[in-house]
Amino acid sequence: MSEVKKIKKGLDIKLIGKAEKILEKADRSETYAIKPTDFPGLTPKLKVKVDAEVKAGSPLFFDKYSTEINFVSPVSGKVVAVNRGERRKILEVVIQADTEIQYENFKKADPNGLSREEIKEELLKSGLWTYLRQRPYDVIAKPQESPKAIFISAFDTAPLAADFDFLVEGEAEAFQAGVDALVKLTDGKVHLNINPNLNQSKVFSDTKNVTVNKFTGIHPAGNVGVQIHHLNPINKGEVAWVIRPQEVIFIGRLFTKGIYDVSRKIALCGSEVKTPCYFETIQGVSVRNILKGKLKDDQKIRVISGNVLTGTRIAEDGFIGYYDSQITVIPEGNEFEFLGWALPGLNKFSISKSFFSWLMPKKEYRLDANMHGEHRAYVVSGEYEKVLPMDILPVHLVKSIMVEDIDQMEQLGIYEVAPEDFALCEFVCTSKINVQNIIRQGIDIMVKEMS
């Protein structure tokens, strides 16, 4: 019987609005989009122009510095917009979808009968390679490298996170095919990390050709970076790849169906949703029809693609992020609160005992996006260490990034971390520092230095 690793450091933020296991189908979306901004370190080069006709699986753009990595359309239809930002940076490639999806044809085969190079070729050509991300640096995996292991986290402990058991329900064949393909991409192991208290699905328990590891505990126990740290830490010169369960299913469908099928389930959750539930949709969908009629009558809301700690704010007609499996809707919180700091705060969440709410540990909260203060001097408070279950010195690492001390960054663990691992540090930070942005800046520095 495998050992259960219990994560004791961290913090569970209990919010109102957990999605019920009810699956609905949203009205058909007219538009879908792929956003280059979802891929750190990417310099996109377009392969299509506005008004071009595409199928599901047709290339839209590629990486300038890894030209073999394609980013493809999730649906068939017409490219109706290439939205740009400052310095003509590509923000979105928008597709107007056909009523019935037409697919590009790819190789349909049993992954067990293919070589490593054949599987790589199909993943690169189909665009599914983009779901493989590497540590260090939390960027798309480099095809020319061989990882020491591949890690799949089968549960998510972030606030209001989607239930991965529910997301993969009925997809056992595709999941196994995806795993079989991943096994061919590494000389090491494929690790499937589960939480025995959460994962009851046979899709996970019956999977073959994987090494099952068990984790329990509070957030960030579900973060794959934390799991890697406790299983097989990454040292300088080593590479590991990570992928989420639904993305393994996408790969499996490629080989079982021979098409780029990224239909999926996502959770609509948050305190401002009338009936939090799950929707069946397609990757890159506009959230307009998903949100229609589902929100409470409060106009001051924030729609987040992802969870409240690591997600990205989007418009009410924006598009879900490439790697996100939930849409969270919370109050904006841009109203002034007179003497808020002096009130008992029974409805306020705090990691300390600043408010009397600490007497109700099981209470769920309706939290907003208000920072409740401004940026302050960056001081050592000891709060980061309480919520980061990794054997590193978080404040020292952040400061070494601020001064761009590459040697110190290496010694303090920059190769092991991703911005999401520091999300709780940012949440509890008394100085209101954008810690995740700083970690990403440090990673970008290392990528530039090592390239």
pLDDT tens for each residue of 284-305: 999 999 999 999 986 789 999 9
Query: What residues contact residue 263 under an 8 Å CB cut-off, 6+ apart?
Result: 280, 281, 282, 283
Query: Which pLDDT value is given to residue 345?
Result: 65
Query: What residues contact residue 305 under an 8 Å CB cut-off, 6+ apart?
Result: 287, 311, 312, 313, 314, 318, 319, 320, 321, 324, 327
Average pLDDT of span 185-197:
97
Query: Which pLDDT value is given to residue 341?
Result: 60
Confidence of residue 374 (pLDDT cuts 50, 70, 90): confident
Average pLDDT of span 243-267:
98
202-244 residue pLDDT tens: 999 999 999 999 999 999 999 999 999 999 999 999 999 999 9
Bridge partner list, 62: 45, 70
Confidence of residue 87 (pLDDT cuts 50, 70, 90): very high
4-36 residue pLDDT tens: 999 999 999 999 999 999 999 888 899 999 999
CA distances from 286 to 32, 253, 282, 316 (A): 6, 23, 10, 9
Domains located in the chain, CATH noted: 4-257 (no CATH), 263-359 (3.10.20), 383-450 (no CATH)
The pTM is what?
0.95
How far is Cα 333 from Cα 349, in angstroms, rounded to an integer? 14
Asked whether the predicted pLDDT for residue 183 surpasses 50, the reply is yes
Using the 8-state DSSP alphabet, how is residue 156 labeled?
A: -
Confidence of residue 260 (pLDDT cuts 50, 70, 90): very high
Q: Identify the helix (H) or strand (E) that includes residue 162.
A: none
Average pLDDT of span 371-388:
87
* Pick from 66-80, 91-105, 260-274, 293-307: least confident: 293-307
Give long-range contacts, CB 8 A cutoff, 24+ apart: 310-318. 310/158, 310/419, 310/420, 310/423, 310/436, 314/287, 316/287, 316/288, 316/291, 317/286, 317/287, 317/288, 318/286, 318/287
How far is Cα 319 from Cα 287, in angstroms, rounded to an integer? 6
Confidence of residue 318 (pLDDT cuts 50, 70, 90): very high
Buried b (16+ CB within 10 A) or exposed e, 121-135: bbbbbbbbbbbbbbb
Query: Which pLDDT value is given to residue 1?
Result: 45
Per the listing, tokens 């993305």 go with: 247
DSSP, residue by residue, 99-129: SS--B-------GGGS-HHHHHHHHHHHTGG
Average pLDDT of span 268-291:
96
Tell me the three state secondary structure of residue 173. Answer: helix
Start-to-end Cα distance in the chain: 43
Confidence of residue 356 (pLDDT cuts 50, 70, 90): low
Asked whether the predicted pLDDT for residue 193 surpasses 90, the reply is yes
Biggest CA pair distance of the chain: 68
Mean of pLDDT over the chain: 94
Query: Which pLDDT value is given to residue 126?
Result: 97
400-440 residue pLDDT tens: 999 999 999 999 999 999 999 999 999 999 899 999 999 99
Asked whether the predicted pLDDT for residue 97 surpasses 90, the reply is yes
Which amino acid appears at position 187 of this protein?
A: D
Query: Which pLDDT value is given to residue 66?
Result: 94
* Pick from 25-29, 107-111, 158-162, 286-290: least confident: 25-29
Query: Which pLDDT value is given to residue 191?
Result: 98
How far is Cα 219 from Cα 191, in angstroms, rounded to an integer? 20
| Contact yes or no for 214/194 (Cβ under 8 A) | yes
Q: What percent of the chain has pLDDT over 90?
A: 86
Q: What percent of the chain has pLDDT over 70?
A: 96
Confidence of residue 372 (pLDDT cuts 50, 70, 90): confident
Asked whether the predicted pLDDT for residue 68 surpasses 80, the reply is yes
Q: For 226, what's the count of Cα atoms within 13 Å in the CB-facing half-sphere?
A: 31
Query: Which pLDDT value is given to residue 344?
Result: 62
